[in-house]
Amino acid sequence: MTQPHTPAGPAEPTGARTEAQWRDILTPEEYAVLREGGTERPFVGEYTDTMTTGTYRCRACGAKLFTSQEKFGSHCGWPSFYAPLAKDTVRYITDSSLGMERVEVRCAACDSHLGHVFHGEGYDTPTDDRYCINSISLTLDEG
C-alpha cells in the first residue's frame, strides 16, 4: 500500500471559538465529530451519494471547503472528494490513533475535524487522493 502524503496547507487554524461556544452552536452529534474527531457511521450521511451541484462548507464555521466538481463516488460509505476547493481551505495532521498512520483533514478556518485523506488507492481521479469526509461536517450550498 502506498503511504499517504501530506499536501501543502496552512499549519495552524486561522480562527477559533471556545469549546463552550462550540457546544452552544453544534448539536451533540456534530460536536462529537467536528470537535472531538469522531466518525459518523458509514452509508448514513446526508451527502454520501449526493451528486448535486454546489459548494460544500464547514458545518461549524461556514468556510468553503470542497465543490461538487471534485466529488466522486468511491462507495466507501462517506462523501469523497479528490481535492479541496483550494490548498489553504484545509489543514493536515498526522493521525496515529488506530495503530496506523493516516492523515487527518481539518478545516483551516476553525480547526474542526472533517475526515481523512488517503493517497494511492487507485481511484480514477486526477489526484489519486480520496478525501473521505464526514457528511455531518459539511453543509451544501446548491447551485
Q: Say which CATH number the domain at 27 has.
A: 2.170.150.20
Does any domain span residue 12?
A: no
Q: Is residue 133, in this structure, part of any structural domain at all? A: yes
pTM: 0.86
On the question of pLDDT at 132 being above 90, the answer is yes
Tally of domains in the chain: 1
- Distance between CA atoms of residues 61 and 112, nearest Å: 9
pLDDT at 42: 96
Which residue, chain included where needed, has cell 454546489? 54
- Tell me the Ramachandran region of residue 126: left when phi exceeds 0, alpha when psi lies from -120 to 50, beta otherwise: alpha
Domain membership of residue 78 (yes or no) is yes
Model pLDDT, residue 13: 53
Q: 31: part of which helix (H) or strand (E)?
A: helix 28-34
Of the two residues 57 and 12, the one the predictor is more confident about is: 57
Q: Which residues are catalytic?
A: 132
Q: Answer whether residue 134 is part of any domain.
A: yes
Confidence of residue 17 (pLDDT cuts 50, 70, 90): confident
Q: Which domain holds residue 58?
A: 19-142
101 falls within a domain? yes
What cell numbers appear for 22 in the block?
Answer: 462550540
- Report which of 134, 139, 138 is spatially closest to residue 40, judged by C-alpha positions: 134
**Residue position matching grid coordinates 480562527:** 15
pLDDT at 15 exceeding the cut of 80: no
Three-class DSSP category at 127: coil
Q: What is the DSSP letter of 2?
A: P
The reported pLDDT for the residue numbered 7 is 45
pLDDT score recorded for residue 16: 67
Average pLDDT over residues 87-114: 90
Q: Which range, of 10-19, 94-103, 129-138, averages the lowest pLDDT?
A: 10-19
Angle at 78 between CA 29 and CA 134, to 5 degrees: 35
Mean pLDDT of the chain: 88
Amino acid present at 68:
S
For position 6, what pLDDT does the model report?
Answer: 41
Q: Which residue stretches of the chain are H helix?
A: 19-25, 28-34
pLDDT of residue 105: 96
